[in-house]
Amino acid sequence: MNPTFSPGVLSMLPIFYVGWKDSILSTSEMKLIHTKIGQMSHLTREDIKYLIDHTNPEFPPGQELYKQWLDAIHLHAKDLSSSQCADLVSLGIAMAKITFSGENTHDHRATVDAISDIATAMGIGDPVLYQGLMNQLGVSGREAPVTSYSFDPQRLYDELHFFRKEAVEHTNSILADPIFRIDEAVIDKDELRTLTLTRLQELARQGLGIYAYPMSVGGSNDMGSYMAAFETLAYHDLSLGVKFGVQFGLFGGAILALGATAHHQAYLHETGYGRLLGCFAMTETGHGSNVKDIKTTATYDHLSRRLVVHSPDWQAGKEYIGNALHSTIAVVFAQLIVGNENHGVHAIVVPLRDTNHQLLQGIKVEDCGTKMGLNGVDNGRIWFDQVEVPKANLLNKYGDIDDDGQYSSPIVNANKRFFVMLSTLVGGRICVGTGALSAAKTSLAIAIEYALRRRQFAPKDGEEETLIMDYPTHQHRLMPRLAKTIVFHHALYRLAEQYTSSPNEEALRKIETKAAGLKALATWHATDTIQACREACGGKGYLAENVISRMKADADIFTTFEGDNTVLLQLVAKGLLTEFNDHFHEERWAATWQYFGDRINFSLAELNPYFSRLSSVEHLESDEFIGGTLRYREKKMLVSLVNRMRSLIGKQLSPQEAFIKCQVHMIETARAYIERLAYRVMAESFKTMADTPEKDIIMRIHRLYGLGLITEHKSWYLENDYFGGIKSKALRRVYEHNIASFRKDIGGIALALGVNTEVYKVKK
Amino acid sequence: MNPTFSPGVLSMLPIFYVGWKDSILSTSEMKLIHTKIGQMSHLTREDIKYLIDHTNPEFPPGQELYKQWLDAIHLHAKDLSSSQCADLVSLGIAMAKITFSGENTHDHRATVDAISDIATAMGIGDPVLYQGLMNQLGVSGREAPVTSYSFDPQRLYDELHFFRKEAVEHTNSILADPIFRIDEAVIDKDELRTLTLTRLQELARQGLGIYAYPMSVGGSNDMGSYMAAFETLAYHDLSLGVKFGVQFGLFGGAILALGATAHHQAYLHETGYGRLLGCFAMTETGHGSNVKDIKTTATYDHLSRRLVVHSPDWQAGKEYIGNALHSTIAVVFAQLIVGNENHGVHAIVVPLRDTNHQLLQGIKVEDCGTKMGLNGVDNGRIWFDQVEVPKANLLNKYGDIDDDGQYSSPIVNANKRFFVMLSTLVGGRICVGTGALSAAKTSLAIAIEYALRRRQFAPKDGEEETLIMDYPTHQHRLMPRLAKTIVFHHALYRLAEQYTSSPNEEALRKIETKAAGLKALATWHATDTIQACREACGGKGYLAENVISRMKADADIFTTFEGDNTVLLQLVAKGLLTEFNDHFHEERWAATWQYFGDRINFSLAELNPYFSRLSSVEHLESDEFIGGTLRYREKKMLVSLVNRMRSLIGKQLSPQEAFIKCQVHMIETARAYIERLAYRVMAESFKTMADTPEKDIIMRIHRLYGLGLITEHKSWYLENDYFGGIKSKALRRVYEHNIASFRKDIGGIALALGVNTEVYKVKK
C-alpha cells in the first residue's frame, strides 16, 4: 500500500526522484537545498520535515521508497498534458495543483524559482537525465517544439549586433544577388579567382569599397562600416572577404594612413570603386614576422629625383601578396636609403603593370599556386629589379625627402616611426578577428542545426534514437565554444567601437595591444571551433556541400597572416610590461603590491582559506568568484613575469635573450590578459543593458565562458593553491551543469549568430 | 685583479655561470647538486667547498663575481677549438684540461656524466640559454653541423620500424615509379580519381593487393604485409591509401572474413589483382555509428531462392561509400529477413554494374561530390530498389539459409553474432591509426626541416637571426607531438604484430578494444599535429606545394571513419567495464581494492605524503614515477566509473541511460587506459632492446611522452591530491627541460620517421 503525499511534497517529488539518481551532491549543496526548502511558503511544516529528512546524503532513500515516489508520480501525472510535463519543475507544480483544494499558490513565481534553484543545485539541468522518467510517464519531452526558447532569437541577435548594423544589413542585401552564390563544387583556383574578382568589383560598384575613405574622394570617412562589411562577407565567402580586405583595407588603407592628401586624391577614388586594383607588398619570403629586417630597398637618387626599388635576392621577394595577379599597382614596403643612410621601412607606390595588364620593366611576378584554402585570392610573389619611380611615390606622412635630397620625419626615433607606420595594421587585425569568428559562427550554426536533427542509438530497442545534441560529449564539444565565440565577438565589437571613435595616441596604443591579442585568440579559437564542428557533423562535415570544410581551409591562415599569433601575443606581453613599467620606476616590490592591492585585494579576499574552500553553486557562478579568479591569474602571472625579466636583465642577458627565456611565460600572460579582457568588457556592457530574457541568456553565456576559462587553467590555480581539490571538483560539477543548461536554448542562440541557416543547413 | 681558478672549479664554471642566470633552482635540486659535487673524484676538497659555497640559492653570486667567472671563461676559452666549445660541459672540461699539469682525468666518462647530470639538474638543456655566453666567446654553437646527433638516424629508423620492413621497402620501391608522383596543383576530383584508379591498379598489378588473401587464390596469407603497404602509401598519398584500403581491405576483407571458401574462390583472386573492383556498403545516411539499426533489408524469397535487397527510404541509402563510382560489385550490409524474422545485419554480394560499367536494374548511385580532402577517392551513395540476387550471394560464414529456407548460425546470440561480424573492422582500424600517423610524420618532418633552416628576429641588431627551432614556444609545439607520434606508432606496430599472429578469441577481443582506442587517439593526435605543423610553417605551410595542407585535409576524416572516435572510446570503456566485471561477480568493494592492491599498491607507495612531495629530477624522470602516475589515474578513473555505473543501474536507469550519464567520464577513462597502454607497451619493449644510443633516445622520447601526459592531466592529479603544488611546479620545470633537451637531436629523429625529406622539403 502506497502512502499519500501532500501537495507540497508532490511539488518536489520529480526533482527529488531524479536528483537522487545521481549521488553527486556535496554536503554544502545539501545545506543550500535545506535552506531553500525552509523558505518555501507553499510547504507545510510536515512537508519541510519530510523533504529535509530525505535529503541527507548519508542516508539515501532505499529501493522501496524510490518505487513509492515513482508510483506517486505515475498516479498523478497520468492525466496531465504534455506541456505540463515539459520539465521536472512544471511536472511537480502541476501535480501539486491538481491535488490541492484551497487557493492555489503553487505556481507563484517565487515557488517556481525556488524549486528551479533546487533543481539546479541538484544538477538537473540535463534533459537526458530525466528522459527516462518522462518515457516511463509516456510523455516524451523530446517532442516539445524546438523553437521554444527562454528568449527571443531576433532580440538576442539585435542585442549582440550593436556595431554598424546598417552596414551589415546593406552588405547582406547586396550578397543576395545570385552572382555571390557559391558553388562548392568549383575548386579550380583560376576559376575561383575570376569569380572573386567579378564579385569584388560588384561590391565596389555598390559602394562598399569607398566606405572608409575621406569625403573628399567620395567616401564616407566611415571605417566602422568598412569593418562591418568585411565581417559580413566573411560569413559567406572568405576569399571574397580577404580580397576585399587586401584591396580596400590594406592597399587603400596604406595610402590613406601613410600618404599625404595628394596621394589620397590620386588613388583613393579609383581604388574605392575597384577601378584601380592594388596590393600591399610588405611580407617577404625571408621576413614575415620580422618586418623591420625586410631586404627590399628603395634607394633615393638625387640626380634623377627618383627612388630605385630593388629585391637584392630571391628571399627578398614579396610573398603571399594578395591581389598580386590582378593588380596594376602596389604599395611596397622597403628600407628607405637616402644619402647612404638607411632610414628604415617606408612605403612606396610602385606601378606593376601597364594598361594592357602587362608587367612593367623590372617587375617579376610568380603565382603562389594552389593553397589549402582561399583559392579565390590570387596570392603571388613579386620581385623588383632596380625599378625606378618618382620621389613623389613615397608615401610621405611619416618620412619625406626634401628638394635638397635630405630625409626628414616628424618622428625622430626610427623605432617609434616603424611602429607608428605598422599601426596601420590595427584595423585589419580587428577585421581578421571578426572574420575568423564569422567562419566559426557559420560552422557552429551548421553543427548545431545538425545536432538538433540527427539521431543515433536508441535508449532501448524499439525506442526512438537519441538526438546527438542530447549526448553530454556533444554538448561539451559545442556549447563552451559557442559561448567563447559570442564573448570574443562582443569584445571585438567594443574594440571596433573604440578604434573608430578617433582615439588619442595613448588610447590607440592600448587598442593596438588589444587588437593584436584578440586577433590571436579569436583566430585560434575559430580554427579549433571549426575543427570541432567538422567532427561534430561526422562524414557530413567532410562533404564540400556542407560548407564547414571550406570554412576550415579558408580560415586556417588567419592564425598566421596579419601577424603570426605567437608573435602577436609576445607583442601583447611586451605592451603589458611597458605599461607596468610606466607605473613603476622604482624597483621596490612594496609599490607593486600596493598597486595590485589598490585594485584587486589579492591577499585579503581571495587567498584566505574560507574563500579557497567556498564551493556553493551560488559562489562558483558569481561574477565575484569568476571575475576575481581570472583577474588573480592575470595579475599574478604578470607580476612574476616582471620579476623574472628584471632578474634576467639584471644578470646581463640582452632583452631579446630574456624574452626568449621567458617566451612561454610571456605568451601565457598575454593570453590570460586577453581572456580576461573579453570577460571584463562584456561584464561592463551588462551595466547598461536592460533586464530582459536576452540579457539573461547573454549573462549565462558570459558565465559559461568564465567557468570554461577557469577549467582550462585549473591546474595553474590548483598548483598555486588558489583553490583546493574540493572546490575544484565542485567547479567541475557547476561547469558541467552550466553546459547542460544550454541544451534547451542552444538552437535559439545559433539563430542569433547572424548566419543564414536556411542556406547553411546540412544536406539531408 | 682576478683570482685564479683551479682546474676543478674551471670544469664547472660554465654551467655555474649559465645556471645562475636563471634562479629557478629549488632547494631540493640544490641538494642533489651538492651530493653530486661531493662525489666527483676530479675535485679537490677546496674545489668542493668553493662550489658548494656558491650554490646556495639564498646567496646568489653578486655582479662582481659573475664578472670574474666570465673573465676566467674568456681567458681560458680563447684558445679552444669550436668543437671544444660545442656545449657547456665540453667547454668546462677543456678548460680544466689545459690548466692541469698532472695525469688528466677530467674527461673520464664518470666526470663527464656527473657534470652533465648537474647541468640537467640546473635546467641547462636549452641551447638558447647559453648562446649568449657562446657569442661572447666568439664561438657560435649555431654553426655546429646539424647532422651531429647523439645517435644514428638510420639505426633509429631500424629500431622503430620492426614490423614487416620488407613490405614497407617493397612498397616504397614501387612508389618510386613516376606514375605515383603527385602534382599538388591538380585538385579537380575527376582528374584525381582517374589518377588514383590508375595508381591502384598498378599497385595491384605489382602484387600489393593480394598480400592478405589465402594462398589458394594466389595470395600470401600475410595480413601484416598488407597493413605495412597501407601505412607506407599513407606517407605519400592518402587518397591512394584509402582507395587501396577500401578495395583490398574492406571489400576483399569482408569476402575473406564473412564468406565461405566458394566466395573466396569466386572473387578474391580477381579482387587482389584489381581486375574486379568492389565496395564495402555498410554505412547509411541515417546510420553511421549505429550500424546495428541500418535500414537496408535483404529479404529471402524461398520460392525463387533469391534475396531481395532494398533501401526503404532516402536515409537508408548507403553513404560515403569509397570506390562506389568505379566498382562493379558491392558487399552490402543489410538486415537479413528470413520467414518474416529479422536475423540482424548480414553481408551480401550485390553486383552494381554490367561489363560496360552501366548500372544494373534497381541500382542508383550518386556522387558524394567534392570533399574537404581525399578527392582521389570516389565516394558515393547507393540505393537498392528491390534488387534480387541468388541466395548464394549471402556471405554465410556466420549465418546461412538452408535448402528448406531456414536460417541458421554457428553463433546463437544475435548480439554476439553482430559483434563478431563487425570485428572484421579491426585490421582496418589499426591501419587507420598507422595511416593517420604517417600523415602526421610527414608533416612533422616538413615542419622540423623548416624550423632548422628558418630564421626570424636577431638577438641584437646586426647579429644573425635566431633559428625558429631555438624558440621555446616552437619547441613546445613540435617536440611533445613528435614524441607522442613515435610512442603511438610503436604501440600500433606491437598491436599489428599481435593481430597478425593468429590470436585466440579472447586475445582478439582485447585487440579489438585496443585497436578501437588507439585508432581514436592516434587520429585525433594526427589532426592536432598536422594543424600544429601547418602553423609552425607559417604561410609556407598554407601553400599546396608544401604538402601539409593536403595531409591536413586528407587525414581529417580519419577521426570519423571506421568508427567515430567518441563512439570508439565508449566501446573501449565498455570493454574495460566488461573486463572488470569478469573479475568481480560480487559487488563487494573489498574485492575490488584487493584486486588493485595486488597489482598496484595504491595506498601504500603512491599516496603517502613522502611520495606526493618528492620532487627531485631523478624521481620525476623515473619510470617508477611516470608509469605509476599514469597507472594511478587509469585505475582510479575505472574504479569510480564502475562505482557510478553500478549506482545508476541500481537506481533503475537503463544501461544506455547510465552510459549517457557517465559519457564524459567513460571517454576520459578510455583515454587514460589507451594513453597508458602506449606507454606500457614501449616500456615492455625496452626489456629486450640492446643498450645503444638509439635505445637512449627512444627512452627519452618515451619519458617525454609520459611527462606530457601527466602535464595534460595535471589538474586531475592536483584535484585528487596525488601530488601537490610544489611537486607540480617541479614537474613543469622537468617537462620543459626535457622538451629543450631534444633541440640538438630533433633533426635526427625526424630523419628516422621514414619520411622522404628530400621530397618533402619546404620550397625555399
How many whole angstroms separate alpha carbon A712 and alpha carbon B439? 29
Q: What was the pLDDT predicted at B130? A: 52
Q: Cβ–Cβ of A465/B653 closer than 8 Å?
A: no
What is the model's pLDDT at position A52? 82
How large a percentage of chain B has pLDDT more than 90? 69
**Helix axes A663-686 and A565-583, enclosed angle (nearest 10):** 80
Q: Per-residue pLDDT averaged across B473-500, rounded? A: 98
> What would the 3-class secondary structure string for A146-157 be?
CCCCCCCHHHHH
Q: What is the band of B691 on the pLDDT scale with cuts at 50, 70, 90?
A: very high
What is the C-alpha to C-alpha distance for residues B137 and B85, in angstroms, rounded to an integer? 9
Determine the length of chain B: 764
Residue by residue, DSSP assigns A133-193 as HHHHHT--GGGS-TT--SS-HHHHHHHH--SSHHHHHHHHHHHTSGGG---TT---HHHHH
Q: Which residue of B has its CA nearest to A133?
A: B653
Integer Cα distance of B664 and B41 in angstroms = 56
The region that residue B381 occupies, defined by phi over 0 for left and psi between -120 and 50 for alpha, beta otherwise, is beta
The pLDDT assigned to A48 comes to 85
Nearest CB among B187, B314, B471 relative to A370 is that of B187
Q: Identify which of A26, A193, A47 has the alpha carbon closest to the alpha carbon of residue A115.
A: A47
**Regions of chain A where pLDDT drops below 50:** 1, 23-24, 125-129, 132, 138-146, 586-590, 593-594, 597-605
CB contact under 8 A, B728 and A715: yes
Catalytic residue among B231, B449, B512, B562: B562
* A142 interaction partners in chain B (CB closer than 8 Å): none
Quick one: pLDDT at residue A34? 79
The answer to whether the CB atoms of A289 and B23 lie below 8 A apart is no
DSSP β-bridge partners for residue B321: B380
Which among A66, A315, A548 is the nearest to B651, CB-wise?
A66
Residue B192: the pLDDT is 97
Closest by alpha carbon to A651, among B18, B486, B224, B685? B18
What count of other Cβ atoms lies within 10 Å of the Cβ of residue B624? 13
pLDDT at B722 over 80: yes
Mutate which: A183, A453, A457, A476, vs B, most B CBs within 10 A: A457
Closest CA to A126 of B567, B664, B288: B664
Say yes or no to pLDDT of B88 above 90. no
Give SS3 for A380: strand
- Would you call B22 and A661 a contact, using CB atoms and an 8 Å cutoff? yes
CA distances, A755 to each of A159, A442, A508, B118, B471 (Å): 15, 6, 31, 59, 40
pLDDT of residue A141: 39
> Is A661 in contact with B539 (Cβ distance < 8 A)?
no
pLDDT of residue A488: 98
What's residue B143's pLDDT?
A: 39
- What ipTM was assigned to the predicted interfaces of this complex? 0.83
Cβ distance A728 to B714 less than 8 Å, yes or no, reads: no
Q: What is the pTM of this model?
A: 0.84
CA–CA min distance B648, chain A (Å): 6
Percentage of residues of chain B with pLDDT beyond 70 = 87
pLDDT, position A145:
41
Residues in chain A with CB shorter than 8 Å from the CB of B543 are 368-372
Active site residues of A: 562
pLDDT of amino acid B274 = 97
CA atoms within 13 A on the CB side of A747: 15
Collapsing DSSP states into helix, strand and coil, what is residue A599?
helix
Q: Which of B176-190, B507-521, B605-619 has the highest mean pLDDT?
A: B507-521
pLDDT at A133: 54
In whole angstroms, give the CA distance from residue B540 to residue A752: 37
Using one digit for the tens of pLDDT, what is the confidence trace for B737-751?
Answer: 999 999 999 999 999
Q: What is the mean pLDDT of chain B?
A: 88
pLDDT of residue B417: 94
With residue B626 as reference, give the H or E element that holds it.
Answer: helix B623-650
Task: Give me the mean pLDDT over the B430-444 stretch.
Answer: 97
Conformational region of residue A367, where left means phi above 0, alpha means psi within -120 to 50, and beta covers everything else: beta
- Rounded to whole angstroms, the Cα distance separating B101 from B80 reads 17
Least CB–CB distance from A534: residue in B293, B314, B556: B556
Pairing of β B297-301 and β B329-338? parallel
DSSP-derived letter for residue A290 is: -
A671: which 3 cell numbers? 593570453
Q: What gap in Å lies between CA B734 and CA A404, rounded to an integer?
A: 62
pLDDT at position B732, please?
96
Contacts of A718 (CB under 8 A, 6+ apart): A724, A725, A728, B714, B715, B718, B719, B725, B728
**Do A560 and B549 count as a contact with CB atoms less than 8 A apart?**
no
Distance of residue A171 Cα from the nearest chain B Cα, in angstroms: 28
Residue B655 has pLDDT above 90, yes or no: no
Angle between helices B589-600 and B623-650 (to 10 degrees): 170
3-state helix, strand, coil split of chain B in percent (to 5) is 60, 10, 30
Is there a contact between B456 and A288 if contact means CB atoms under 8 Å apart? yes
B393 alpha-carbon distance from chain centroid: 39
Partner residue opposite A653 with nearest CB, options B132, B650, B667:
B132
Question: Helices B165-175 and B223-236: crossing angle, nearest 10°?
Answer: 40
Q: Strand (E) positions, A253-338?
A: 278-281, 297-301, 306-310, 318-321, 329-338
Smallest CA–CA distance, residue A743 to chain B, in Å, is 15
Chain B contact set for A288 (CB, 8 A): 456, 538-539
Cα separation, B548 vs B530, whole angstroms:
7
Closest CA of chain A from B501, distance in Å? 33
Burial class, B122, CB count within 10 angstroms (exposed 0-12 / middle 13-18 / buried 19+):
buried
The alpha carbon of residue A653 is apart from the nearest alpha carbon of chain B, in Å, by: 7
* Residue partners of B602: CB distance under 8 A and separation at least 6: B596, B632, B635, B636
Out of A20, A370, A459, closest to residue B656 by CB? A459
**Among partner residues A131, A285, A648, which is closest to B21 by beta-carbon distance?**
A648
Give residue B175's pLDDT: 94
Is B48 within 8 Å of B114 (Cβ atoms)? no
* Nearest residue in A to B473, CA atom: A664
- Residue A723 to residues A718, B220, B448, B725, Cα–Cα distance (Å): 6, 62, 39, 11
Q: Measure the N-to-C terminal CA separation of chain B; round to a whole number of Å.
A: 52
More confident residue, B60 or A569: A569
- What's the gap in Å between the CA of B220 and the closest CA on chain A? 34
Q: Which of A479, A535, A559 to mutate to test the interface with B (most CBs of B within 10 A)?
A: A535
| E runs forming strands in A682-758 | none
Find chain A residues with C-beta within 8 A of B712's C-beta: none
